[in-house]
Amino acid sequence: MKEEIKNIAILGSTGSIGTQALEVISEQPESFRVEVLTAGNNYQLLIEQASSYKPNTVVISNEDHYDKVFSALDPLDIKVYAGQKALNSVVEMDSVDMVLTALVGYAGLIPTVHAIKAGKPIALANKETLVVAGELITTLARENGVNIYPVDSEHSAIFQCLVGEWDNEIEKIYLTASGGPFRGQDRQFLANVRKEQALKHPNWDMGAKITIDSATLMNKGLEVIEAKWLFGLEPEQVDVIVHAQSIVHSIVQFRDGSMKAQMGLPDMKLPIQYALGYPKRLKSDFPRFNFLDYPSLTFEQPDLETFRNLALAFESMQKGGNAPCILNAANEIAVDAFLKDQVGFLEMSDIVSECLGKVDYIRTPELEDYIKTDELTRVRAKELIK
CA distances for 242 relative to 9, 94, 299, angstroms: 34, 43, 6
| Cβ atoms 175, 221 nearer than 8 A | no
3-class SS string, 266-283: CCCHHHHHHHHHCCCCCC
**Residue 348: half-sphere exposure toward Cβ, Cα within 13 Å:** 37
Helices and strands counted in the chain (H then E): 16, 11
Q: Is the pLDDT of residue 369 over 60?
A: yes
User: What is the band of 69 on the pLDDT scale with cuts at 50, 70, 90?
Assistant: very high
Measure the CA–CA gap between 83 and 41, rounded to whole angstroms: 11
Give the residue from 75, 72, 78, 124 showing the smallest Cα distance to 98.
124
3-class DSSP state of 100: strand
Ranges of beta strands (E only) in 145-218 are 148-150, 170-177
- Angle formed by the axes of helices 323-339 and 367-384, to 10°? 40
Q: State pLDDT tens for residues 98-129.
A: 999 999 888 899 999 999 999 999 999 999 99
First to last CA, the chain: 64
**Residues 6+ away with beta carbon under 8 Å from 214:** 178, 180, 201, 204, 206, 220
pTM higher than the cut 0.75: yes
Q: What is the mean pLDDT of residues 247-263?
A: 97
User: What is the band of 200 on the pLDDT scale with cuts at 50, 70, 90?
Assistant: confident
Q: For the purposes of burial, counting CB atoms within 10 Å of the CB of 184, is it exposed (0-12), middle (13-18) or buried (19 or more)? A: exposed
Question: Residue 205 has what pLDDT?
Answer: 65
Measure the CA–CA gap between 84 and 6, rounded to whole angstroms: 25
Question: Residue 335 has what pLDDT?
Answer: 97
**Residues 6+ away with beta carbon under 8 Å from 358:** 380
What Rg value do the Cα atoms of the chain yield, rounded?
20
Question: Residue 223 has what pLDDT?
Answer: 96
Long-range contacts of 160-166 (CB under 8 A, 24+ apart): 160/262, 160/274, 161/250, 161/251, 161/252, 161/260, 161/261, 161/262, 162/231, 162/252, 163/279, 165/252, 165/254, 165/260
**170-177 vs 248-254, strand pairing mode:** antiparallel
Question: Residue 201 has what pLDDT?
Answer: 74
Give the residue from 317, 222, 129 showing the smallest Cα distance to 138.
129
Q: Is the pLDDT of residue 1 over 60?
A: no
Q: Of the CATH numbers 3.40.50.720, 3.90.1570.10, 3.40.640.10, 3.30.420.40, which one belongs to the domain with range 6-150?
A: 3.40.50.720
Q: Dihedral sign for Cα 36, 42, 44, 48, please.
A: negative
8: how many CB neighbours lie within 10 A of its CB? 26
Question: Residue 249 has what pLDDT?
Answer: 97
Start and end residues for every CATH 3.40.50.720 domain found in the chain:
6-150
Q: Is the pLDDT of residue 377 over 80?
A: yes
Q: State pLDDT tens for residues 142-163.
A: 999 999 999 999 999 999 999 9
Long-range contacts of 288-297 (CB under 8 A, 24+ apart): 289/247, 289/263, 289/264, 289/265, 294/245, 294/247, 297/243, 297/245, 297/247, 297/248
User: What is the band of 204 on the pLDDT scale with cuts at 50, 70, 90?
Assistant: low
